[in-house]
A and B are shown apart, each in its own frame.
Chain A
Amino acid sequence: MPALVAIAFLTLPLIGLVVRAPWRSLDRVLAESQVVEALRLSLVCASAATVLSLIFGVPLAWVLARAHFRGRGLLRALVTLPLVLPPVVGGVALLLAFGRKGLVGEYLDVWFGFTLPFTTVGVVVAETFVAMPFLVITVEGAFRTADRDYEEAAATLGASRLTVFRRVTLPLIGPSLVAGSVLCWARALGEFGATITFAGNFPGRTQTMPIAVYLALENDPKAAIALSLVLLAVSIAVLVALRDKWLNTGSVA
């Protein structure tokens, strides 16, 4: 019985979204330039955040999984903190670090005349901050369980360390790399709190889909529902993409 309540509770809002969607005026709402702009910005920024997470997160995951040094546990806790941190707090923290008067931001401004907050790059930074840990923990787990035996076998076959990584380790963790990237991308796409705090709400520059949804809810609820539908569709696409990895693993665990 409690399970049924849970099922109803989790699915009813989604059903509501679909039922109340203004299907007839959907194409009109979605064709509005601001909506297209927000969608484009969201996709670009989420993708950029994912690429950044891959470039920096995969080596970090490797270090966490394979290197042995004091304080590794503490480091892992620190870098995965954004997973549990309220995103708004993340946004405030980012402002204090990279804002015009921030720890690092002050020098960025003085030396390079470069400020991050309230720019498109700022959106990418905020999304990366929140989403990268998803990639890191997924890939770290893969590095940890990826059989070192295969790497040793490759070494006995004459492969240099770089060749081992490229031709054995990466292909072995491939599925997790894909899963981590998709999770990271989805998280970045839905990111709201840190983004609005750190980058604000400038249409065309920092107004991403979730922010547009929130604002539209006040003056154009139909548009908000339509935008939400788009994000729901993206989420479902993500689930479908990951179904082998997540939905069928119940028995494997």
Chain B
Amino acid sequence: MSVAEELPAGAAHPPGALQMDGVVRRGTFTLEITLTVAPGEVLGVLGPNGAGKTTLLRALSGLTAVAEGSIRLGGTVLDDAATGTFVPAELRPVGLVFQNYRLFPHLGVRDNVAFASRSRGFSRRQARRRADAYLAQLDLMALASRKPAQLSGGQAQRVALARALATDPGLLLLDEPLSALDARTRLDVRAELRRHLATFSGPILLVTHDPLEAMVMTDRLLVIEDGRVVQQGTPAEVAQRPATQYVARLVGLNLYPGTLISADGTVRLHAGGALTAAPDTPLPATGTDVLVAVRPSAIALQTERPHHASPRNVWAGTVIGLEMLADRVRARIDGQPDALVDLTAAAVAELQLRPGQQVWLSAKATEVDVYAG
């Protein structure tokens, strides 16, 4: 039998959607989550450390049981607290790529990838031949006899993916797949991984706390914080209108919770101050709690009070920090409200900005985005 004939075309598990509606407990931590991932879809799960991302992966892969609710994949119940159904990790059609890959250090690349087949009772020879199909697919044949310690980060990542795919899974889970890589490798591996994921026919769930990874690798995002889902949407929606400070920080936006007090778009901010949006934009109902997002580059900074009254939003503040970004300087301003403001390095030099300095900020109403919180 040729290698090509053993490629995972038409996997043993026909693609089916992942559906989870459950509660998972680990110690005192509780994760409450409802999610659906369609076959071929990549759902990104974004959240800070301790949000419950790892707990979610453990529940899906069968390392931890749900305390309430259920997990289904296609027509199969993987876990159901009500009926006591629980398919343990070793019997689940789920492939998991761990954050640090967890390649077995005592086995070579080929035997790492052959591990799943060996566990399913294939002889060493058969298992290795099956492994070779995946090694070829992921361009790893040249590394087949290396030990994991002799691999670069990007190579180890591919081996981990090959090893997970070799279980012939109906669901693929990736735990921060790029976080163990240095910034330069990450760029190459990201594009490559995206390509490999596209060939997988089942649902994919990718956990990350890297905003860029979440934006470019996923079709849809689920943001979790403290064991709860706080936002869902396409990466673009989440990036434009973050629901929480955590997401706003990730995507680099100023975000202010407040109350819309008039139909002309004026919002009284909970932390003090007010911002006004352009009146002709669609606004939530007056009197409701809203979120206001302003891009740091949309805020103008001056050392004297601006006299011309064109921007609706003008407020005073104090510089508390300056940080050099790739091509600009981000100033951290203490005021009502606080703000991040992006400036060119030339502007910082011209204004002779320094921490402690009094400044005036202004933002055009058209740059103030008000939406339901």
Contact = CB atoms under 8 A, between A and B. Distances in A.
Interface of A: 147, 149-150, 152-160, 163, 167-168, 171-172, 174
A168 B104 contact: yes
B95 A156 contact: yes
Nearest to B120: A158
Contacts of A167: 115, 118-119
A150 B119 contact: no
B283 to A, nearest CB: 48
Nearest to A175: B106
28 contacts: A147-B102, A149-B98, A149-B100, A150-B104, A152-B63, A152-B89, A153-B96, A154-B104, A154-B115, A155-B89, A155-B90, A156-B90, A156-B92, A156-B167, A157-B115, A157-B164, A157-B166, A158-B90, A158-B119, A159-B115, A159-B119, A160-B90, A160-B119, A167-B115, A167-B118, A172-B105, A172-B106, A174-B106
Given A156-B89, A171-B106, A172-B106, A163 B119 contact: yes
A229 B91 CA distance: 58
Nearest to B114: A157
B94 interface: yes
Interface in B61-104: 61-63, 88-92, 94-96, 98, 100, 102, 104
B95 A153 contact: no
A157 B114 CA distance: 10
B163 interface: yes
Given A149-B98, A163-B119, A167-B118, A157 B163 contact: yes
Nearest to B58: A152
Interface in B115-174: 115-116, 118-120, 163-164, 166-167
A142 B115 CA distance: 23
Nearest to B101: A153
Nearest to B61: A156
Contacts of A150: 102, 104-105
B167 A157 contact: yes
A155 B90 CA distance: 5
Contacts of A149: 98, 100, 102
Contacts of B120: 158
Given A156-B92, A156-B94, 11 more contacts: A149-B98, A152-B89, A154-B115, A155-B62, A155-B90, A156-B62, A157-B115, A158-B119, A159-B115, A160-B119, A171-B106
B175 to A, nearest CB: 11
A150 B98 CA distance: 10
B119 A157 contact: yes
Nearest to B91: A158
What 9 A-B pairs are tightest by C-beta distance, nearest first? A153-B102, A159-B119, A155-B89, A158-B119, A157-B116, A171-B106, A156-B96, A155-B90, A157-B115
A147 B106 CA distance: 13
B116 A158 contact: yes
Given A152-B89, A163-B119, A167-B118, A158 B106 contact: no
A149 B92 CA distance: 18
Contacts of B98: 149, 153
Interface size class of B (residues with CB under 8 A): 20 to 34
* Among A154, A157, A159, A171: residue with most chain B CB under 10 A: A157
A8 to B, nearest CB: 42
Contacts of A158: 90-91, 116, 119-120, 167
Nearest to A163: B119
A188 B94 CA distance: 48
A172 B148 CA distance: 14
Q: Which of B89, B98, B163 has the most CB atoms of chain A within a 10 A radius of its CB?
A: B89
A51 B61 CA distance: 39
A165 B90 CA distance: 14
A162 to B, nearest CB: 11
Contact of A156 (B63, B100, B105, B107): B63
A142 B346 CA distance: 59
A79 to B, nearest CB: 28
A151 to B, nearest CB: 10
Contacts of A153: 96, 98, 102, 104
A150 B92 CA distance: 17
A172 B107 CA distance: 10
A170 B175 CA distance: 27
B219 to A, nearest CB: 24
B296 to A, nearest CB: 40
A154 B105 CA distance: 12
Contacts of A154: 104, 115, 119
Contacts of B166: 157
B301 to A, nearest CB: 48
* Most chain B CB atoms below 10 A, which of A149, A158, A163: A158
A174 B104 CA distance: 13
Contacts of B167: 156-158
Contact of A155 (B63, B105, B106, B118): B63
Given A150-B102, A160-B119, A172-B106, A155 B88 contact: yes
A157 to B, nearest CB: 4
Nearest to B160: A153
Contacts of A156: 61-63, 89-90, 92, 94-96, 164, 167
A152 to B, nearest CB: 6
Contacts of A152: 63, 89, 102
Contact of B90 (A147, A159, A172): A159
A57 to B, nearest CB: 22
A171 B107 CA distance: 9
B58 to A, nearest CB: 9
